[in-house]
Amino acid sequence: MSTRPLLALAFGLVAAPGFAAEPSATDQKIAALTAAIDKHLAADWAARNIRPAAEADDAEFCRRVYLDVIGRIPKVSEVRAFEADPAADKRAKLVEVLLTKPSHATHFASVARSKWLPETLTDQQTMYLGQQFEDWLRKRFAQNVKMDEVVRTVLTAEVFLGQRGQFQPVRNRAYDADQGAIQAFYQAAQSKPENLGSTVTRAFLGVKLECAQCHDHPFAPYTREQFWQFAAFFGEFTPLPPNRPSFVGPVKPQADKNTLAVAGTSRKVTAAFMDGTSPNWTEEKSPREELADWVTAPVNPYFARNLANRLWAQLFGVGILDPIDEPGENNPPSHPELLDTLAKGYADCGFDQRAMIRAVVASQAYNRTSRISHPSQGDPRRFARMNVKSLTGHQIYDSFATATGVRDNQPRNMAYYDQGNGTVTRFSIKTLFPDPPKPTETQTSILQALAMMNGKLTADQTSLDKSEILAAVLDAPFLDTEKRLETLFFTAITRKPTPEELEKLASYVDRGGPSGDKKKALADVFWVLLNSPEFLFNH
């Protein structure tokens, strides 16, 4: 089927019989951006004599888009319904459905928290606050709040500081719970201006400016002076005298909070943007409000590029600029014009992340198979085939739950606390499978392999006594061995077995395996599928 369905179909537009629906302005922008992506990559492939891979079949696409958009594999009924749908626009319609599921917001909030505040994934002091921040993000993604508004809210939040600059519970004051959740962003940086400046430049602008904290950046044109000038936007976060808790407003610049002392020197600098310009300081706006205006401006040369590149890296496993937060002469974008186009498209769509997802997922590159069919497809940064990506701990747990029916009764917002009773929880899997720093290069560790092969979770869910899915497959009288195997394949790895696989495995099951028991042999097959690379990777 074509990945370029007609515009009216591609975005799920419905018209009354006999009438053509007019695409909205946003739909037109999305379609134009998708066409631009295809054009840029096709030109690159032609110039490099790259032969792109074939289009992914429906089952491969279905599994990929479920994992990328909602963070889990599809259920058997979902993938079978998708394959049976004869509509030419069914891929676009599936994306629309997934974008409105609550699990889309949950998955993207988890990814954003891990990229923006990675320290909260491992630091016991900020773990729970990080989860609160993730819950706040989830609500924003569920409402499709535009990304510039999300970032502006974070940058201008009212923050409560207690004695000596430490964060304290709020008492005797009406306080927005959302503002409390955002405090995690500031507490993770220990309320230090230099740490906050580093976090903001890395997370929202795609630049590791902290490399210039003590000296000029060794590989990029950023100076120590620039680092401290940017940190000065958070100059209000200074230690307070004892017994003087305070709300940080944000304050106005006349209070001398737009300046900051350079560590280790007697000099003070005034807040200035990374491009060398400075705000027109007024009484109406605080330093952080001025910063938010500049960061989220559509013309900002960093903000839209960073958002676009991060989304691309999430969907393809590698960014156009990669590493994503180290721009410089030693790390040029693989496709500079494409990155510029994506950044402009992001801004033109009003920083609507769902619009960007639609545009990228509709591209030919995203719809290609991950199977290599020609040596020219080997470089993952040319995007001539889909890259194979490691799953996050959350994706593994949620996919395992989808495939087996197992459920962790612990609320997701308590997922970073072990129950201490040997129960396998989301916490256990998340700890064992931390988010990979580079999804296209991660290898499974010995501990991970042992846990999947011999751990309690897998053992229980491939046991004839405890596995719900095995019981359902075995108790269905209308299923023969081949149909049972096909069901287990769809359950675990979202595809039918090949004829060769089916012949070998059906023979194994019918013989009863080493024990002579057909039911145990079928459980063995399910165990193999759950331990296969096809289950543990997105492809």
Instruction: Identify which of 395, 340, 253 has the alpha carbon closest to the alpha carbon of residue 33.
Output: 340
For 356-375, what is the mean pLDDT?
98
Q: SS3 sequence, 148-194?
A: HHHHHHHHCCCEEECHHHCECCCCCCCCCHHHHHHHHHHHCCCCCHH
What is the pLDDT, as a whole number, of residue 166?
47
What is the pLDDT, as a whole number, of residue 227?
86
Tokens found for residue 399: 């996919």
Torsional class of 50: left (φ above 0), alpha (ψ -120 to 50), beta (otherwise): beta
How many whole angstroms separate alpha carbon 497 and alpha carbon 490? 9
pLDDT at 182 over 80: yes
What residue spans of 296-413 are helical by DSSP H? 303-316, 336-348, 353-361, 393-404
State pLDDT tens for residues 258-300. Answer: 889 888 888 899 999 999 899 999 888 899 999 999 999 999 9
What is the pLDDT, as a whole number, of residue 477?
86
* H or E stretch covering 268: strand 268-270
What is the pLDDT, as a whole number, of residue 172?
36
Sequence-separated (6 or more) residues with CB below 8 Å from residue 34: 359, 360, 362, 363
What is the pLDDT, as a whole number, of residue 246?
53
State pLDDT tens for residues 211-268. Answer: 655 555 565 567 888 888 999 999 888 655 555 445 555 555 545 678 898 888 888 9
State the Cα angle at 61 between 56 and 399, rounded to 5°.
140
Cα torsion through 236, 118, 145, 351, rounded to 10: 90
State pLDDT tens for residues 436-473. Answer: 778 898 777 777 877 788 777 788 888 898 888 999 99
In the chain, the percentage of residues whose pLDDT exceeds 90 is 60
Tokens found for residue 453: 């092969």
Of residues 237 and 180, more confidence is placed in 237
For 166-186, what is the mean pLDDT?
60
CA 112, 118, 121, 123 dihedral sign is negative
pLDDT at 41 over 50: yes
Min mean pLDDT across 271-280, 282-291, 336-345, 415-424 is at 415-424
Structural domain boundaries in the chain: 156-295, 389-538
What is the pLDDT, as a whole number, of residue 149?
97
Query: How far is CA 407 from its chain centroid?
Result: 23
pLDDT at 14 over 50: no
pLDDT at 416 over 70: no
Residue 269 forms beta bridges with which residues? 260
pLDDT at 188 over 80: yes
Question: How high does pLDDT run on average in the chain?
Answer: 85
Residue type, 208: K
Using CA atoms, how far residue 50 sits from 4, 44, 269, 376, in Å, is: 21, 8, 51, 5
What is the pLDDT, as a whole number, of residue 219?
59
Q: How confident is the model at residue 64 (pLDDT cuts 50, 70, 90)?
A: very high
Q: Which long-range contacts (CB under 8 A, 24 or more apart) does 60-65 make?
A: 60/369, 60/370, 60/494, 60/495, 60/539, 61/91, 61/367, 62/94, 62/494, 63/493, 63/494, 63/495, 63/538, 63/539, 64/386, 64/538, 64/539, 65/91, 65/94, 65/95, 65/98, 65/361
What is the pLDDT, as a whole number, of residue 162?
52
Which residue shows structure tokens 């061995």?
481
pLDDT at 201 over 70: yes
What is the pLDDT, as a whole number, of residue 240?
52
What is the pLDDT, as a whole number, of residue 322?
94
For 166-187, what is the mean pLDDT?
62
> CB atoms < 10 A from the CB of 242, how many?
7
State pLDDT tens for residues 104-131. Answer: 999 999 999 999 999 888 887 788 888 8
What is the pLDDT, as a whole number, of residue 176?
59
* H or E stretch covering 411: none
Say if strands 259-261 and 268-270 run parallel, antiparallel, or are unpaired: antiparallel
What is the pLDDT, as a whole number, of residue 447?
78
Using CA atoms, how far residue 345 sits from 32, 264, 271, 348, 400, in Å, is: 9, 43, 30, 5, 36
Sequence-separated (6 or more) residues with CB below 8 Å from residue 24: none
Instruction: Identify which of 357, 435, 349, 350 has the alpha carbon closest to the alpha carbon of residue 391.
Output: 435
Sequence-separated (6 or more) residues with CB below 8 Å from residue 501: 489
Query: How far is CA 82 from its chain centroid?
Result: 24
What is the pLDDT, as a whole number, of residue 266?
84
What is the pLDDT, as a whole number, of residue 216?
54
Q: What is the SS3 assignment for 472?
A: helix
Q: Which long-range contacts (CB under 8 A, 24 or more apart) does 96-101 make?
A: 96/11, 96/12, 96/358, 98/65, 98/66, 98/69, 98/70, 99/69, 99/354, 99/357, 99/358, 101/70
Say if strands 246-248 and 159-161 run parallel, antiparallel, or are unpaired: antiparallel
Task: For 430, list phi and psi in degrees, rounded to 5.
Answer: -65, -40
How many whole angstroms separate alpha carbon 109 and alpha carbon 112? 5
Residue 283 forms beta bridges with which residues? none
